Each structure stands twice: as C-alpha cells, then as structure tokens.
Structure 1
Amino acid sequence: MTFTMNPVADPQAIVSGPTYRFTILTDRLLRYEWAADGQFEDRASTFAINRQFHIPKFRVVENDDGLEIITDHFHLSYDKQR
C-alpha cells in the first residue's frame, strides 16, 4: 500500500518566529513546535503524512512580547519571551 505524502503545511496556516512555529490545522486544533535552533521537522510522520488541510478562519494579534491566535473555538496567548 502506498500513500500520497505532502508533509509540509500550507504557509498561510503557519504562524512562526525564531524559535516557535504554530500550524493551525483546524478551527479546533493546532500544532505547536519549539526549537532553540529554529529548525523544525517537516518530514512525514506516522501521525501526519499529509499536512495540507483546508485553512480555517483565524486571526493573529502580535506585538513585541507575545501573540494571540484566535479561531471560532479557541483563543491562544503565547509569550514570545519564554
């Protein structure tokens, strides 16, 4: 059995900085990654061989110290200084 793999998410669904990356997968689910060196994993995994989901409606509010990701179902606040 073979599967079509597309492990890299659509860039429009990604919110990132030097050491963090959020991928908004659905309006109820996001993926959070943190890497001190800013290198993130984009290979397929047993969980996700395809990360090309429909991009949900969301908005980002960002300032120097933090950011917020807001959908119809969650409101995430992230402290960029930690």
Structure 2
Amino acid sequence: FRLRSEYGVECGFENVNVATARWVRCPDAKRFEDFQTKLRDNLALDHHGELVYIAPSRVNLQLTQERWPEVRFAATREHGLR
C-alpha cells in the first residue's frame, strides 16, 4: 500500500523457497560450466554480478556440495573481490 500511495508504484510479492545462499566458484572452467548448466534454476547473480547458488533447504545445499566437490561454496564474500 505504501509504495502505491507514496511513490505511485505497483508491486507484487511472491514467496520463494530459499533456505540459504552461497557464492560459488570453481577453478575448473569446464566443470563449472557443467555445474551452471545442471543447476541453472538454483543460480542467480548478486548485485555485483557474482554467481550465487540458492538452496531451497540445508539438506539440498549439503547434497549439492557433496555432488560437486570441485565447486567452492562460500557463505560470505569479501567486498571488492571479483
């Protein structure tokens, strides 16, 4: 209501199934490409354009980490690093 009345902006809200997010990197470009292809529905870019894995549950994150041991899943990212 406030967005519409104060700013004249319409918006919608949708629930999403997200338990946690992790920044992802991989030194093996081919393996990382495979990871991105297979898990594209769970990937997003942060406001700096860095790739983030969106896990719907902690169990999902754990299984994904086990299946992709070459991929580094970071809970935090240093500001300014690319």
- TM-score norm. by structure 2 comes to 0.24
Q: Determine which structure has greater relative contact order: mean sequence separation of CA pairs < 8 Å that are 6+ residues apart, divided by chain length.
A: 2
Structure ranking higher in helix proportion: 2
Larger of the two Rg values belongs to structure: 2
Structure ranking higher in strand proportion: 1
- TM-score norm. by structure 1 comes to 0.24
